Each structure stands twice: as structure tokens, then as C-alpha cells.
Amino acid sequence: MKTDVPIRKLPTGVPGLDEVLGGGIPEFSFSLIAGGPGSGKTTLGHQILFANANPEQKAIYFSIIGEPPIKMLRYQQQYDFFDAAKVGNGTVRFIHLGQEALDGGMKKVLEAIVAEVERSNPAIVVVDSFRAMVRSTLAAGSDKEIELTEFMQRLALALTSYQATTFLLGEYAEGESDNAVFTVADGLFWLHQAIDRNSVVRKMHVMKMRGQAQIPGLHTARITDAGFSVFPRLLKPAEVVTEHPLKHRLSTGVAGLDEMMGGGIPSGYSVLVAGPSGSGKTLLSNQFVVAGVERGENGIVAIFEKRPNDYLQTTPRGEHFEKLVREKKLEVLYLRPLDLSIDETLVELQSAVRRLGAKRAVIDSLSGLELALAPTFREDFRESLYRMMGALTGLGVTVMATVELEDSYTDLRFSPQGIAFLTDAIIIQRYVEIDARLRRAIGVVKIRSSQHSKELREYEVSEDGGIIVGSTLEGYDGLLTGTPRGGEKGNR
């Protein structure tokens, strides 16, 4: 017989947050939402409140000292989660206790809250903000800390006894703490705004949630018209049953390249296509994704440098792409909000994969992705990429990522910043000068656990924008130096 008490988890109504919390907010818990000015405490409190309030589970929002309630109503109703009907029919009630705070301090506020909770029996209670009251109480003397502790104990006890799930909103600077409050609280959400050069990235840290295992660390967050969204650092891995990757290979859409790769890309692998500007990386990735659609494997293309319309108009197969997009076999994602995070990128990609049932994904390009990221995430680009590749291939998606690589004729590198080792396969595209002409060479550098061609073959771009791989550039030495010797004309 299971003897531990079942704890119902309430949905937060915030995308991504339930996952971070380990399922939701424990019923009857008493949590603190802390953060500096503008960090989103009021918005988060409202969003959770409106997500849970219904005629059987009423909610009360107590405002004490801080933003005037009329201003709060004015701003919060701009969000999609704000349901005016719930306010009108009494499901959500707003009660201002500013006068009680001024007249009688914490004691009067506590009495008012308890009286109202007794009278109306709400299921959700938000108290915003008690911090100014706490500050003035503590400023009155060191002995007041006991009074504060007593206040918190009594408040938590009263609200829990009346089976209310409660959120206290408090303005705290980074590093500030309040033992009396932090100790009593079952949950502690800290909202940060990380400033790095000109960028500001919102992050949420669930420091504490009694009774369940939350995902640790700082999770990127964003506030839009829809309200708060959280992008968990660790996405829940999908259960994907795949056969051994080497048993099933995906065509790149380029016959010669498939041959070089021993039949194609092993299913579920990540492939890096590295080459200088204009070498045809995007063309190759286009052929890869179209080849997939032709075989019933839907695909997504994540772009960072051009807007979707520009991309579709300038890519050689643009019209065909547009047709596939209309048929919902292909989706072009343009991810360039300000101060992008890798977690947000992953959530968008994962959502698109699920939406389309995609089996192929193209990231064009990693160079563009790096530039789109907020500075704070660029510093951990390798770690971010590691997580991203792992998360996507974990969904059973075969990923092709392009990366700009300046031709270097003195050292052999396959990616900037040493990210090549993160992928399962690497294809390089290079320019070589032969007979005073720029010609293109393609090679397969590695495919994990698989044999592959070691040749450098010439390739061309056809009139319709397709890559055609030709024969091996035989008879030359030093192709990778940029100025090879040998060939039909003999030694130079």
C-alpha cells in the first residue's frame, strides 16, 4: 500500500515552467517569486493565477504596497492570459490593502488577508508586494526580525490551513536574502535579468520547490504578449525507437555524395557541412531536405541570416520550397528575436519537429546562429551546440548544419572554434585553383563508425542550382593548399 500523501500539481500556465518544476506547483504550497524591478514578478503571478482560477477554484490577488492596482490592471490586461470575464464574474478578485499597511503595518495586513481568506475560501492567493512592508519593519529595529518571522509563520499557516496555494511577490536585488521568508517558503522562484554588453536576457532560477525535483540551473525566459515563457535547460528526451543508424541511410539528394558516404547519411546522425562563402553549403542542405520530403520524410530548415521570404526568393528551389511549405511537408523557421538563447532555439526546433513529424532538420548556418545568440550564450557556444545536437538527434532527426569556414591553406580545420568533434559526420567544401580557374572540391572527412570515401572530388553547381558531384581530382598533389601541382598539364 502506498502510504505517502499524493500531492496534486497545479499547472502554472507558463510554457516550459511545469517541466522545470518537475510537474507543476504543489497544491497548498507557499512560494515566493523574487526578483529585481522589471523582472516580471507581477506578470508571472497573474499568469499562474489566471491559469488556475475557475468558478470552483477562486483566486484573490492582494496588492499591498507597490504598483497602484489601477495601473496593474491596465498593464496586465494587455497580456493574452488576462481573462476579463473571470474578473467580472468574481472568479478572480483584486483587493488592495495599502491603507491597512499604512495604518497598522504587518499585523493589520495579516488580519485583513486572513479575514478575507476565511470569508471567501480562495484556492489561489497572490500577495504583491510585501517587501516594502518587511523593509520598513526591519528598519525599525533588529528585534523586529522576530516579528517578521512570526508574521510569515502565521501567514503561511493560515493560508495553507485554508487550502490555498499561495504566491508572495517580493522585490529583491541580486544576492539579497530574507531568512524569515526563505525558510518558510515551500518554493522559491528567482527572476533575473542578465546584462551583458548591450543585451539583457531574462532567466529564471527555481531555487527551491519542496517535495519534487526541479531542473536545476538558470533557465532562459521571455515575456511576450502571451506572457511569460520559460525555456528549460534540459529538454525532456523523447522516447524514440530507432533501428541501428548504420542500417538505414538517408540520401543527401546528391548521388555522388551518397556514394562517397557509403550510401548516404546514417539515420539520426548530425552532419557538419563546412566551407567558405559561396561554396554551396546552402544548396547542399536544400537538396538534402528536399530529398527527404520526396521520400516522405518531412523536414525543417532553421535560418538565421535571411528572412524566410528572402530565403525562399533567392534559393534556387524557392518555388518548390514554397510549395512544400504550403503542403506542410517543410517548415522554414526564422529565429532572430533579440538576444536569442540556445534553449529558446531548441524549444522552437523541437516544437517544429513535433508539429511536422519531421525526420530531417537543417541549421543554416551555425555561424548565423552564433551571431544571433545573446553574448552570454556565445561564450558557451560549444556547450550550447552539444546540447542542441544531442536534443535533436535524440528526437530521431537527422541534422545537417552548415558552417562558414574561411579557406585556410596553412592549417587543416573543419570548423571554427573546434566544434567539428560534436558532430557525427563532416563534409568539407573547398575552392581549389586549377588552370587559373576556381574549381570546387568536396570531401567526406569523417562518418562515425562507418567507412567512407577518402577522395576529394570535383563538384559543380548546375543551372537549376543543384550540386553535382563529379569525378575524383586525380593526379594532383596539394589540393588543400589551394594551388595544387600535377594534373593533365603535368608538374607546374
Partner 1 sequence: MLAYEETTGSAAGEATTAAGRVYDKLTTHLTPLIGAAGLQALLARSIKLAARDELASLDEVSVLQGAPKLRDWLETQDPRAVAESAAVVFDTFFALLSTFIGERLTIQMLRSAWPTVEEPAPNESTK
d(CA 423, CA 446): 9
**In the bound complex, what is the minimum distance in angstroms from residue 136's beta carbon to partner 1?**
17
**In the bound complex, what is the minimum distance in angstroms from residue 71's beta carbon to partner 1?**
7
Shorter beta-carbon distance to partner 1: residue 69 or 486: 69
Shorter beta-carbon distance to partner 1: residue 133 or 221: 133
Burial class (CB in 10 A: 0-12, 13-18, 19+), 34: buried
As given in the structure block, the three cell numbers for residue 362 are 537543417
**In the bound complex, what is the minimum distance in angstroms from residue 87's beta carbon to partner 1?**
6
Shorter beta-carbon distance to partner 1: residue 98 or 316: 98
Shorter beta-carbon distance to partner 1: residue 68 or 211: 68
Shorter beta-carbon distance to partner 1: residue 73 or 132: 73
**In the bound complex, what is the minimum distance in angstroms from residue 74's beta carbon to partner 1?**
5
As given in the structure block, the three cell numbers for residue 167 are 504566491
**In the bound complex, what is the minimum distance in angstroms from residue 98's beta carbon to partner 1?**
5
Integer-rounded Cα Rg, in Å, for the chain is 29
Other C-beta atoms closer than 10 Å to the C-beta of 418 total: 10
Shorter beta-carbon distance to partner 1: residue 82 or 377: 82
Which residues of the shown chain bind partner 1 in the complex (CB under 8 A)?
68-71, 73-74, 77-78, 82, 84, 87-90, 93-96, 98-99
Amino acid 93 reads: R
**In the bound complex, what is the minimum distance in angstroms from residue 37's beta carbon to partner 1?**
21
Shorter beta-carbon distance to partner 1: residue 87 or 132: 87
**In the bound complex, what is the minimum distance in angstroms from residue 100's beta carbon to partner 1?**
10
